[in-house]
């Protein structure tokens, strides 16, 4: 079996970080803080976090902070969002530098995004705004990705079954969004070039998923837990919302009635693990659905009839570990699949063998190997998506 090209991966990550004008850096400009979490966590898993200047990273993270709201943007000058707030907290945890935060201010930002039904919005623009309502084009099924590409300010007017959008006065024009969404939809899958910007999640079934989505529940709960501030939210309602996303097949969707998808399952199982609520899961039923994700080539897919992708090594395995069913996967075949996706010369891991590498798949490939106890890779915590020693430092020190 091929071996993990750890040194090359470290070099690849450090190079991507430095080349601010490369294509990969440019398309990830708006999600740079998330990318920093992927790259730096990979370095730590490979025992090479010292390859970057910690003080420089912490200074840059704090330059993405919005002191008036308490949230972090995806890069300097970008609007705050709960995802980048989690990434900032996770990276600060890696460096043991939570001391630079006004913890209550950040926690209040996240807690303030909880909705009446217990779900969370991704940012303050998720608030209901009935101005300038318009109906949804199917093109906007791609808008979850766009939400992280543009300062997208479209909002839900109601939680009615027929989704209705509204936008506030500073929003980009809807037509522009639809054109961009259409372009993204056509190119997705066929254009390698777009891949790094299409990383943000499964295609939502409706625009409602952009606003009320179980990943925001995970993100909020994970952030608050790392900050020891879970008491700031209505936890019962948060758990009830996550449980309401459970399907008859044992899996979870992005919202009640949404199709089961491995990424959403990680979010819901992680949220339930963090809140001590795993008893809501039928472990055998969910374990069966998850282990059926293993394809003939050994890789895992995210839902039935789809191709395997290295990133699901994380989303599926972490969920299986949290419900004690990871032994239902053929680890040897999966390890081989991940290692075959490496670029052994210039470093990095791709979604499938022979495709172009990127930071996202490099992280999830190494993280998957970590969950399978690959030699030389630090063990990871499946719920917090951080190295185990980092998580132990946070919770055992307290
Ligand atoms: C800290 C690890 C961590 C996560 C933070 C961002 C987030 C919380 C969770 C995202 C979970 C999610 C929805 C992952 C799926 C990502 C993905 C590759 C989606 C692709 O969806 P499709 O429909 O692909 O394009 P498939 O594979 O279904 O064809």
In the 8-state DSSP scheme, what is residue 200?
S
- pLDDT of res. 171: 34
- The burial of 207, by beta-carbon neighbours within 10 Å (0-12 exposed, 13-18 middle, 19 or more buried), is given as buried
* Cβ pair 337, 368 in contact under 8 A: no
Q: Which two tokens stand for residue 115?
A: 């909705």
Residue 398 banded pLDDT, cuts 50, 70, 90: low
Query: Mean pLDDT across the chain, nearest whole number?
Result: 82
Phi first, then psi: give them for residue 51, nearest 5 degrees: -70, -10
**Whose C-alpha lies nearest to ligand 1, atom 11?**
263
- Taking the complete model, does pTM exceed 0.75, yes or no? yes
**Whose C-alpha lies nearest to ligand 1, atom 17?**
201
**Whose C-alpha lies nearest to ligand 1, atom 29?**
306
Atom of ligand 1 nearest to the CA of 200: 16
Q: Which residues approach ligand 1 with their CB closer than 6 A? A: 83, 201-203, 215, 218-219, 263-264, 266-267, 302-303, 306, 309, 311, 315, 385
Residue 140 has pLDDT above 80, yes or no: no
Residue 30 banded pLDDT, cuts 50, 70, 90: confident
Distance CA 265, CA 323 (A): 11
Residue 28 CA: distances (Å) to CA of 12, 38, 178, 383? 16, 12, 21, 25
Residue pLDDT, tens place only, 271-318: 999 999 999 999 999 999 999 999 999 999 999 999 999 999 999 999
* Cβ pair 390, 94 in contact under 8 A: yes
Residues in the chain: 398
In the 8-state DSSP scheme, what is residue 38?
H
Beta strands in the chain (DSSP E): 65-66, 71-73, 80-81, 134-135, 154-156, 164-167, 380-381, 386-387
Of 67, 73, 159, 65, nearest to 122 by C-alpha is 73
Distance CA 388, CA 392 (A): 6
């Amino acid at each position: 079996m091929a071996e993990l090209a750890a040194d090359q991966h470290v070099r690849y990550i450090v190079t991507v970080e430095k080349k601010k004008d490369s294509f990969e850096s440019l398309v990830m400009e708006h999600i740079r803080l998330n990318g920093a979490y992927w790259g730096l966590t990979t370095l730590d898993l490979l025992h090479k976090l010292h390859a970057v200047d910690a003080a420089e990273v912490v200074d840059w993270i704090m330059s993405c902070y919005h002191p008036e709201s308490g949230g972090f943007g995806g890069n300097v000058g970008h609007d705050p969002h709960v995802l980048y707030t989690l990434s900032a907290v996770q990276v600060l945890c890696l460096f043991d530098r939570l001391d630079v935060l006004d913890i209550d201010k950040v926690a209040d930002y996240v807690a303030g995004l909880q909705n009446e039904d217990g779900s969370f919005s991704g940012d303050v623009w998720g608030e209901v705004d009935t101005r300038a309502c318009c109906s949804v084009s199917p093109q906007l099924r791609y808008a979850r990705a766009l939400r992280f590409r543009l300062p997208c300010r479209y909002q839900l007017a109601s939680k009615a079954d027929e989704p209705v959008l509204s936008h506030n006065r500073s929003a980009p024009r809807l037509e522009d969004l639809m054109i961009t969404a259409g372009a993204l939809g056509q190119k997705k899958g066929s254009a390698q070039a777009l891949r790094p910007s299409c990383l943000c999640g499964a295609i939502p079934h409706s625009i409602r998923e952009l606003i009320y989505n179980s990943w925001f529940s995970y993100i909020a709960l994970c952030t608050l837990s790392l900050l020891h501030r879970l008491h700031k939210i209505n936890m019962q309602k948060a758990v009830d919302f996550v449980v309401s996303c459970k399907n008859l097949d044992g899996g979870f969707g992005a919202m009640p009635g949404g199709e089961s998808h491995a990424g959403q399952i990680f979010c819901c199982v992680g949220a339930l693990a963090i809140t001590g609520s795993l008893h809501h899961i039928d472990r055998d039923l969910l374990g069966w659905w998850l282990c059926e994700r293993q394809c003939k080539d050994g890789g895992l897919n995210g839902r039935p009839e789809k191709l395997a992708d290295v990133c699901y090594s994380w989303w599926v395995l972490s969920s299986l570990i949290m419900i004690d069913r990871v032994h239902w996967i053929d680890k040897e075949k999966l390890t081989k699949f991940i290692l075959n996706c490496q670029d052994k010369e210039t470093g990095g891991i791709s979604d499938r063998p022979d495709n172009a590498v990127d930071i996202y798949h490099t992280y999830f490939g190494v993280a998957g190997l970590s969950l399978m106890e690959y030699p030389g890779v630090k063990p990871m915590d499946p719920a917090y998506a951080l190295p185990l020693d980092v998580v132990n430092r946070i919770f055992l020190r307290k």
